[in-house]
Structure 1
Amino acid sequence: MKVVCVGGGPASLYFSILMKRVDPSHDITVYERNPAGSSYGWGVTYWDELFHFLHGVDPESARAISECSVRWDSWIVHLHDRATITVEHGDEGSGVSRRRLLDIFTERARALGVRIEFEREVTDEREFPDADLIVAGDGVNSVLRERHAAHFGTEIAVGRNKYVWLGTTKVFDSFTFAFTETPHGWIWCYGYRYDQDRSTVVVECSPDTWRGLGFHEANEADSLALMEKLFADILDGHSLMGRTQIDGSAHWLNFRTVTNRRWYRDNVVLLGDAAHTTHYSVGAGTTLALGDVAFLVDALHGDPRLAGALARYERERRSVIRAPQRAARYSARWYENLPRYIDLPPHQMITLLDQRNSRVLAYTPPWLYYRIGQITGRLSALRSGGGPTWQSRSSE
């Protein structure tokens, strides 16, 4: 096949890798509008399930990613001046630099014979009349998707809270949550390490808090200084780093949940964030995008008819995506309704933080949901002969 991949993110690059591994005769070119080595974002999170998948389909890139990754197996939750609690969580997570991840995939794709052209923006699939397949991996703002939004049935739901994605030289040994109360409401962040001397910090708050603290009219330098003050307890004197806008403002956003009723049109197929997005609070975006890759490659090599292969990919992958996307919506709503939970006793609040993707929690009094969870947890422990699913230490 002659394949064109639009967008040089993880999904497009990994798709080119797996297609070449299955059949080296594929003619594949990846087009990326930004210069080589540039990347938005800081770190990427993933879990063991993704690493095992990567190792199974392309051990070479999996080993390179593992060598550049850092790991954690606990949470630390800071509740203003009320408590600091360490949660020994069962699952181990990993972080890796987004730039390094892209470099690994780029080097691996080129080694397999994929052509990669940087600083080449694609706005119309008709630029490639001889392509058998055009993969739209150009992200949440996909130009190819927007050209045919009516066909794809694109819907975008905009979240209420404001958030900003930052970096810091503070190295977090655990996945860290911090909730800070201000005269204008609560503001919180979550931070995680992604290499030996850097961490990602995502700061979030309600729009009322955002305006009350003056972020709506502050430049980036003033915004960062205020956030460093608000989260001084966890930053230990380290600075925050942002991504300056052209007008000098901080890069505050409202999260957009993208869904599509159709995932392909003729020979154009959506991949990753162009097809779907999941709220950052569940840390599943990269995992789901690479899952799309596996489904699409399998479908293309399982059916010689392009239309049949793309129909299978759309049908099967959309079905798989529904559950994590639904869980991500519940997680986002939990944060949007933080006042409902923040005044609970610290251990109760943190238990519900862990359960934030539950479809039942939003419709159940928090104290009742916690009590039911405690009872079922004890019964489960008795049946298995084990102890609690997590333990904590508090500085209350």
Structure 2
Amino acid sequence: MRIVCVGGGPAGLYFSLLARLRSGGRDEVVLAERRPPGTAAGFAVTLGEDILDDLYRTDPVGAERVRAAAHVWDSQVVTVGPKRVHLGGRYGYSIGRARLLEVLTDRARELGVTVLHETEVAPDGDLAADPVTADADVVVAADGVGSAIRTARAEAFGTRISHGRNLYVWFGTAKPFRQFTFTFERTDAGWIWFHAYPAADCVSTCIVECSPETWTGLGLDRMDPDEAMRMLERVFARTLDGHRLIAPPGMSGAPWQRFREVRNLSWRDGHVVLAGDAAHTTHFAIGSGTVLAVEDAIALADHLYPGGTGIGGTGSGVPAGGASTGGASTGGDPDGGIDVDAALAGYDAQRRAAMAGVQRMARGSMEWFESRPGRLDGTEPVAFAWSLLNRRHDQGRLHRRLHGATQAEPVRKVRQRLTQARRVRRALRRGEIGPGRR
């Protein structure tokens, strides 16, 4: 089988390397990315325990490299003006987006994937006429939220795109945040806030968001990126501690965006399937974009290679020469025959059903940020932080009482120790080499 993945993000890269593993190196896999190598947009993405478990289950060699490059944030805080509120028992991982793509690209090449950078596939939508995709048995459109392939086949996919109300922009900052931090500041034009978390040793991601009224009231609609960053540094001086904001590579003169929610009635059109942001988007406030992209990749591999674990005794995988040295399963039947039509239909049905609830939750989270901060005046910060924590689903009275108790340092320290023990136990269970590392 010949497979072409269009788009060098997490969905395309992870599926491409799994296809080589699951096919035992027999299937030809090509990945085409229009950007040059090392030009990933943004600073960092977040990962949770479940996706790390999935990475170790499906490719432990690559998973260990991802984990080694990731940073742990072992708590969350909410600051409302000068008041600091702690969200106990919460932790996660983050990794620089460029570093993640570098790790996945290296692993894909190691397994024999042909990676083509600076290669734009079928810009007019005619996959049959493009030499990269003309003879492909499967085309995976993982080319992002603005997917050209999806746009060209929008009627077949039943694409629906809607926009959020608030304005947001992704920056970096030289402040090394060690906690996942939400900061809300009152200005003369209304409330403005950011989400921050570690990206690398000396850089953090900082996503600034506000209502349209605050955006225009502060004059952000008329400022160039440098001017906006300097003004926002003053607004958030209390939390940034004098550190500067950093523009991401290639930032345009109009970096502010409204969130685009992408939905598709079908993820499949013949031998073409959608994955990652091309198939669906979820508001950045739930931090699930990369996780969901990898889940798409794993699900597609599961359907195309049923029974193929891709994991051998040594975990060494498939060399570029094509022969398997890691005992990877062939998937499908022993003769290599795969019912591609049924596999793609199964993937489409499974992942669309799984995404329906996630997108509802993400929309609810987006709407919370569109309405709740505007009513912050007069709200007690601990109660506001609980509302933020509770925005996805009701966590009940017991957790609310625990949230209140966590504001006391002795209780908070006990919860931190328990959380650390829980994290190490989970890491040991999935086979991390250094379970206690940060």
- Fold shared, TM-score > 0.5 on shorter chain: yes
Shift of 1:324: 1.4
Distance 1:190 1:282 in 2: 11
Judged with a 3 Å threshold, the aligned counterparts in structure 2 of structure 1 residues 161 and 297 are, in CA distance, closer, same or farther, namely: same
Structure 2 letter corresponding to 1:207: P
- Please tell me whether residue 273 in structure 1 is matched to residue 274 in structure 2: no
Judged with a 3 Å threshold, the aligned counterparts in structure 2 of structure 1 residues 51 and 342 are, in CA distance, closer, same or farther, namely: farther
Task: Structure 2: give runs of 5+ residues left out of the alignment.
Answer: 307-331, 333-337, 410-438
Q: Secondary structure at the match of 2:221?
A: coil
Task: Structure 1: give runs of 5+ residues left out of the alignment.
Answer: 361-371, 382-386
Distance 1:343 1:320 in 2: 39
2:392 aligned residue (349, 357, 361): 357
Aligned residue for 2:5?
5
Structure 2 letter corresponding to 1:321: M
Map 1:1-396 → 2, pairs under 5 A: 1-23=1-23, 24-81=25-82, 83-88=83-88, 90-122=89-121, 123=123, 124=125, 125-126=127-128, 127=130, 128-243=133-248, 249-302=253-306, 304-337=338-371, 338-341=373-376, 343-358=378-393, 373-374=396-397, 377=399, 391-393=406-408
- Contact 2:87 2:403 (C-alpha < 8 Å) held by counterparts: no
Q: Secondary structure at the match of 1:257?
A: strand
Distance 2:110 2:256 in 1: 38
Q: Secondary structure at the match of 1:25?
A: coil
TM-score, with structure 1 as normaliser: 0.90
Structure 1 letter corresponding to 2:31: V
Judged with a 3 Å threshold, the aligned counterparts in structure 2 of structure 1 residues 280 and 342 are, in CA distance, closer, same or farther, namely: farther
Structure 2 letter corresponding to 1:348: A
Distance 1:206 1:51 in 2: 34
Q: Secondary structure at the match of 2:155?
A: helix
- Sequence identity (%): 39
Deviations 1:23-58 (A, max 9, x none): 111101100101111110100101111111101110
Q: Secondary structure at the match of 2:305?
A: helix
CA RMSD of aligned residues (A): 1.9
Distance 1:349 1:42 in 2: 28
- Contact 1:342 1:349 (C-alpha < 8 Å) held by counterparts: no
Aligned residue for 1:364?
none
Does 1 or 2 have the higher relative contact order (CA < 8 Å, sep 6+)? Answer: 2
Distance 1:268 1:390 in 2: 52
- Contact 2:299 2:351 (C-alpha < 8 Å) held by counterparts: yes
Structure 2 letter corresponding to 1:271: A
Distance 1:52 1:275 in 2: 23
- Contact 2:96 2:200 (C-alpha < 8 Å) held by counterparts: yes
- Contact 1:243 1:251 (C-alpha < 8 Å) held by counterparts: no
Aligned residue for 1:384?
none
Judged with a 3 Å threshold, the aligned counterparts in structure 2 of structure 1 residues 235 and 213 are, in CA distance, closer, same or farther, namely: same
Deviations 1:283-323 (A, max 9, x none): 00110111011111111123622111111111111111111
